[in-house]
Structure 1
């Protein structure tokens, strides 16, 4: 009885070439994908110049304290595709406002940012049609209430099913 034993395959230079090409192909492919994701997503830029921003910090803090001393409170509602904002003084009376702009900023993706200008409805309530995508948003509200600078209201909010949570 003679059994044909299979002859072991020989590892050649061609096999090594394919292994090296496959390895570097995977490495280069992953690098290209990661570079593309990095280029098309959030830049990571918070301020243009950190030195200038640090020099302006104390003045911005004083402005915020002066605004807080007014005792005004803003009411923001987002539901049914409508953004509504109103501003009341410390006594609960409506503050006369000339105009309101709202910037919806996505915390990690600048391409989703959107500025919405609200128009006067009734009783110092300002509205606009806008439905932000579900998720976390930083909402920056600038209300022109006749002060030297616009009244600024910044909030981090969660939108779920088109409504403020």
Structure 2
């Protein structure tokens, strides 16, 4: 009697080639997919020119320290398309500024970003009208008085639907 033995599987070079190509094909496909989503969802721009920003770092830090030492605080409010900003020194009263610019940016994407100059309505109280859609915003306020920086702050706020 003879016993029949079935042919067992043999892993060949072609199988190894197929395994390696499949492995790297998945990695490449995932990288391209993630790169596409990254390039279509956020601009990636924090500053326009990183070299210039690095050269101005010490100046900017000194200005921010001077603002913190002065005790000036700001309060932003956005309701029904009206943007208000109040500048004051707690315990001393409102702070005047001749120019207040508010820059609004979405945390992701640049399509809805806008900048508005707020007009003074009362001492230390500034108002502007611009629709800011519901959701999260990062606002930056730069207030100057006769060319001297009075306030420069950036915060994140959530605008609710009215």
Scaled to the shorter chain, the TM-score interval is 0.5 to 0.7
Q: How does 1:15-94 map to 2 (within 5 A)?
A: 35=36, 40-94=40-94
CA contact (8 A) 1:145 1:151 kept: no
CA deviation digits over 1:42-63, x for unaligned, max 9? 2212223434433432332222
Q: Is the CA contact 1:77–1:83 (under 8 Å) kept in the aligned structure 2?
A: yes
Q: Which residue of 2 aligns with 1:28?
A: none
Tell me how far apart the structure 2 counterparts of residues 161 and 144 of structure 1 sit (CA, whole Å): 31
Query: Are 1:153 and 2:127 counterparts?
Result: no
1:75, 1:85 within 8 Å by CA — same for their partners in 2?
yes
Instruction: Decide which structure has greater strand share.
Output: 2
Q: Give the Cα separation in 2 of the matches to 1:88 and 1:94.
A: 4
**Residues 142/82 of structure 1: CA separation in 2 closer, same or farther (3 Å cut):** same
Length-normalised TM-score, structure 1: 0.67
Contact 2:105–2:138 under 8 Å retained in 1: yes
Structure 1: gaps spanning 5 or more residues:
1-30
Count of aligned pairs between the two proteins: 133
Q: 1:51 to 1:119 in 2, by over 3 A?
A: closer
Shift of 1:90: 4.1
Structure 2 vs 1, CA of residues 46 and 75 (structure 1 numbering), >3 Å: closer, same or farther? closer
Q: Counterpart in 2 of 1:105? A: 105
Q: Deviations over 1:89-132 (max 9, x none)?
A: 24331112212111101121112110112112234311112231
- Cα–Cα, structure 1 residues 90 and 114, in superposed 2: closer, same or farther, change >3 Å? same
RMSD between aligned residues: 2.8
* Match of residue 115 from structure 1: 115
How big is each residue's C-alpha offset from its partner over 1:11-41, in whole Å with a ceiling of 9 and x where there is no partner? xxxxxxxxxxxxxxxxxxxx79x84x65554
Tell me the distance in 2 between the aligned counterparts of 1:124 and 1:58: 28
TM-score relative to the length of structure 2: 0.68
